[in-house]
Amino acid sequence: MAKGMFVKVAAIASALSVTAGCLALSAGSSVTSQLAAYTTPLTPGGVVVSGRFGHAPHVRFPAGNPPGGLVTDTVIRGTGPVLHKTDAFAMNLVAYKWHGHSAKLLQSSFRSGGPELATEPLLRGLVIALTGKRIGSRMLAILPPAYAFGSAGNPQTGVGPDDTLVFVIDLIERFPARASAHGVPVSSGGGSLPTVTAGAGRAGPAVRIPRTPPPAGLIVKTLIQGAGSRVARHQLVVVQYVGVNWRTGKVFDATWSRGTPFGFQIAAKPAQVIAGFDAGLLGVRTGSRVLLVIPPSEGYGSAGNQQAGIRGTDTIVFVVDVLGTVNPS
């Protein structure tokens, strides 16, 4: 299934992912850079990047053709934690396609509303360029077709089979694949609400639905109280979650099963997630685990979600770990 498919209203396109479908700071973040602004020396690819971390870079292309091989360069060297291959990470980026003597902007998070969360699988060239780099870095990556979408290109993003891709990426914060809430336990639910316990292995929390009718309205209950800043409108929110259908008691979606967190912009217009997810997480402190009981009117409405086995009358339950937030650019 697509990342966050049963939470999101619609997918967000990104040139970062192999499958081409994707998405400034909060407490707990550690973005530090040795240089506030820097201009690259002439790289082997001839591309020059200037500007400050966290601000849209200026990218200058040479008059000639793209280089034939992979080119990577650290434009600004960060001093934060090292990014591992399996980590999700919050980032800002600009992406260009370079063909012949012309380059065209494909995507800019600086123009589209803020940072995005990048998760596996990434393009091969980006894995090489970013793995082992420190948070707070600005990276330049020039990817020939063999390190990007290959001979097929990617029509969805307008990338042809002979196009070279150029990325400038600011690494803002890393989120390990198995990250979870790290606050103080205050409740496990229960009574007329679902009971939440630790799951087996790496399955995430286990949810047991009571033998009672679901509540009529949205319920938000804190299970683990985090100590971070409160989730605010328009931030990038990074979470782990498990979703359960109250009627069947069965899990229909879980980030823990996919092995990577999920990110979305909260209170976005148009909405990026179902209404109950948006409303339930506003004001929650980072590091917390919360139980959301979402009625149909704030979930998938009368249409339900056939792929997830959710009927138009089904109440759905989420247990959500709020890992972190990133402010808009």
Mean pLDDT value across residues 299-325: 97
Q: Is residue 12 part of a domain?
A: no
Q: How distant, in Å, are the alpha carbons of 57, 192, 290, 325 from that of 52?
A: 7, 52, 37, 21
Do 312 and 257 belong to one domain?
yes
The string of pLDDT tens digits covering residues 60-107 is 999 889 999 999 999 999 999 999 999 999 999 999 999 988 999 999
* Residue 242 CB partners (closer than 8 Å, separation 6+): 199, 204, 205, 207, 251, 253, 254, 255, 256, 318, 319
**Enclosing domain of residue 71:** 48-175
pLDDT band at 128 (very low <50, low <70, confident <90, very high): very high
Cβ atoms of 135 and 30 within 8 Å: the answer is: yes
Q: Is residue 22 part of a domain?
A: no
Please provide the size of the chain in residues.
329
CA 135 to chain CA centroid, nearest Å: 16
Structure confidence at residue 64 (pLDDT): 87
The string of pLDDT tens digits covering residues 23-35 is 122 223 333 333 3
Q: Is residue 5 part of a domain?
A: no
Do 120 and 232 belong to one domain?
no
The string of pLDDT tens digits covering residues 232-284 is 999 999 999 999 999 999 999 999 998 999 999 999 999 999 999 999 999 99
Q: Which residue has the higher pLDDT, 37 or 213?
A: 213
Which of these three, 175, 202, 225, is where a domain ends?
175
Which of these three, 133, 156, 175, is where a domain ends?
175
* Residue 210 CB partners (closer than 8 Å, separation 6+): 190, 191, 192, 193, 194, 195
pLDDT band at 20 (very low <50, low <70, confident <90, very high): very low
Whole-number Å distance between alpha carbons of 219 and 278: 13
Whole-number Å distance between alpha carbons of 258 and 9: 19
Q: Is residue 16 part of a domain?
A: no
Structural domain total, the chain: 2
* Helix-strand-coil split of the chain, %, nearest 5: 10, 35, 50
Q: Is residue 261 part of a domain?
A: yes
Do 241 and 117 belong to one domain?
no
Q: What is the CATH number of the domain that holds 93?
A: 3.10.50.40
The CA-CA-CA angle for residues 61, 113, 290, to 5°, reads: 135
Do 80 and 157 belong to one domain?
yes
**Phi, psi (degrees; rounded to nearest 5) at 328:** -60, 155
Q: Is residue 298 part of a domain?
A: yes
Do 225 and 303 belong to one domain?
yes
Q: Is residue 18 part of a domain?
A: no
Q: Is residue 39 part of a domain?
A: no
